[in-house]
Amino acid sequence: MRPNKLRTLLAQDTPIVNAWLSIPSGYVAEGAGHQGFDSVTVDLQHGLIGFETAVSMLQAISATEAVPLVRSPSKAPEVIMHLLDAGAYGVICPMISTPEEAAAFVAACRYPPQGSRSFGPARGKLYGGPDYFEAANAEILAIPMIETAEAVDRIEAILAVPGVDMIYVGPNDLALDLGEGPGAEWHPRATTDAIAHVLDRARAAGVATGIFCGDGALSRQRLAEGFDLVTPGNDFNLLMGAMSAAIAETRRP
Ligand SMILES: O=C([O-])C(=O)C[C@H](O)[C@@H](O)C(=O)[O-]
């Protein structure tokens, strides 16, 4: 099976930069994949993307060097399995707050006997190769999102769940659950303290860490703090920022 390059980068302790797609477009996905990101995530939770468009986007990413990931729209096992069948090499799953939820999520990502993934690797096999079934459990990444106060309280138990390859912090939802506003990871204490605690516990447990960041500057900071994977903003916001900058430059007196 095609090796999962993210596992190699993690083993080498090489920082991973991940793109985040909310625009429902194979064209944007292909372009993002050619920009030098290590992985590209198709976001089916908040991105305006349905399953069939996600398949086209995964195909487009597969034409590049970037590893195709998805954020699933929910914890539903059948949805997670379907996205893996579509060729995702890793799933970022929102709102995992307990070790039981983490175990159920990992099970959806693994074929028996390690899990309960149903067989039918449609595009997974085209992208991964003919031995997909034999090797998928070892290559596919299961990445629960830590984005609630309960998940922070129970972080050590979640990290101890076998098969959790990485945890991914959602700072905006975490801030909301802690009574702060989106973007709070820059300033107020509760969210910054919670993120630092999760990072510290994950590093102690030897579990890789990822985090969504608003931009490149915060991504650099998070890598310096010790996160393994960062996402420097989503496609739409980056595009709008580039448009605004172009207009401002054009109209500069
Ligand atoms: O809670 C979070 O920060 C996330 O789930 C990541 C971001 O919100 C992401 O979805 C976004 O804003 O595009």
Q: pLDDT at position 181, please?
A: 82
pTM beyond 0.90, yes or no: yes
Q: What are the tens digits of pLDDT across the range 220-235?
A: 999 999 999 999 999 9
- Distances in Å between the alpha carbon of 98 and those of 107, 146, 160, 167? 14, 10, 11, 13
Q: pLDDT at position 143, please?
A: 99
| Ligand 1 center to 92 CA (angstroms) | 12
Closest Cα to atom 11, ligand 1: which residue? 234
The candidate with the shortest Cα–Cα distance to 213, out of 7, 1, 75, 15, is 15
> Does 46 participate in catalysis according to the annotation?
yes
Q: pLDDT at position 187, please?
A: 67
Q: pLDDT at position 189, please?
A: 85
Q: pLDDT at position 185, please?
A: 64
Place of tokens 């996905």: 29
Q: pLDDT at position 244, please?
A: 98
For ligand 1, whether the C-beta of 41 sits within 6 Å is no
Hey, what CATH class is 5-251 in? alpha beta
Whether 71 and 101 have beta carbons less than 8 Å apart is answered as no
Q: pLDDT at position 184, please?
A: 64
Residues of the chain with confidence (pLDDT) below 70: 184-188
Q: pLDDT at position 182, please?
A: 82
- The complex scores an ipTM of 0.91
- Distances in Å between the alpha carbon of 223 and those of 41, 58, 136, 144? 18, 26, 28, 19
- Gyration radius of the chain's alpha carbons: 18
Q: pLDDT at position 193, please?
A: 94
| Ligand 1 center to 46 CA (angstroms) | 8
Closest Cα to atom 4, ligand 1: which residue? 170
| Ligand 1 center to 183 CA (angstroms) | 10
For ligand 1, whether the C-beta of 147 sits within 6 Å is yes
The candidate with the shortest Cα–Cα distance to 17, out of 88, 93, 69, is 69
For ligand 1, whether the C-beta of 172 sits within 6 Å is yes
Tell me phi and psi for residue 188, to 5 degrees: -60, 160
Q: What are the extents of the domains in the chain?
A: 5-251
| Ligand 1 center to 172 CA (angstroms) | 6
Tell me phi and psi for residue 144, to 5 degrees: -70, 145
